[in-house]
């Protein structure tokens, strides 16, 4: 009679162990950019037709944001991103907003309306980079990439001027600049 409870707990324990192991060793869906992985490089064009490559920003904390002019959360988020960019402008910090709009006209109007100066590139429809490489599923979606090119945070819709968020971002910025200032 004691064999049934022992057998039951062995089976339940084995199943639990299997699921814990599977979760602990999970690396994400194939092709998805995970925290801790190297951020895939890409090349897009800015408003002036100049090539923008993610790898050109190595050595800086990169704030890579995917957005659209018609996206309500993006409209709310962009002014705070502008304030954050201005606050960190003299640091090793690079913001890049990748729009998934189909052409530059709505982006130009949007930037004028909200008085934005955030560097932006165009990925029409999000086909090449947003959905194609980064597997973005909604807007806005942001990846924070460290100075060595590794993804340290992947987030959706933040309050970028919240003092805790700003402090966190400042802690990720390479400290070489702080050492120079103390000399």
Rounded (10°) angle between helices 104-114 and 72-87: 60
64-115 pLDDT per residue, tens:
999 999 999 999 999 999 999 999 999 999 999 999 999 999 999 999 999 9
Domains of the chain, first to last: 29-182 (3.40.30.10)
Is residue 30 pLDDT above 60, yes or no?
A: no
Closest residue by Cα to residue 78 from 118, 51, 43: 118
Confidence band for 24, pLDDT divided at 50, 70 and 90: low
Alpha-carbon span 130 to 108, nearest angstrom: 20
- The tens digit of pLDDT for each residue in 118-161 reads 999 999 999 999 999 999 988 999 999 999 999 999 998 889 99
Do residues 105 and 124 lie in contact, with contact meaning Cβ atoms separated by under 8 Å?
no
The whole-number pLDDT of residue 123 equals: 96
pTM of the model: 0.79
């Amino acid at each position: 009679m004691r064999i049934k409870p022992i057998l039951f707990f062995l089976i339940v324990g084995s199943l639990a162990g299997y699921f814990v192991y599977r979760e602990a060793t999970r690396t994400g869906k194939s092709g998805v950019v995970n925290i801790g992985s190297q951020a895939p490089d890409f090349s897009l064009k800015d408003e002036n037709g100049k090539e923008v490559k993610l790898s050109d920003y190595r050595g800086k904390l990169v704030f890579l944001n995917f957005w659209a002019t018609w996206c309500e959360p993006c409209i709310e988020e962009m002014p705070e991103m502008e304030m954050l960019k201005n606050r960190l402008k003299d640091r090793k910090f690079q913001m890049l907003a990748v729009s998934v709009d189909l052409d530059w006209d709505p982006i130009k109007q949007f930037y004028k309306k909200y008085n934005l100066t955030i560097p932006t590139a165009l990925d029409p429809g999000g086909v090449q980079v947003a959905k194609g490489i980064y597997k973005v599923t909604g807007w806005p979606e942001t990846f924070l990439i460290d100075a060595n090119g590794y993804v340290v945070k992947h987030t959706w819709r933040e309050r970028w001027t919240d003092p805790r968020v700003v402090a966190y971002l400042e802690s990720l910025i390479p400290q070489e600049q702080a050492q120079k200032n103390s000399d």
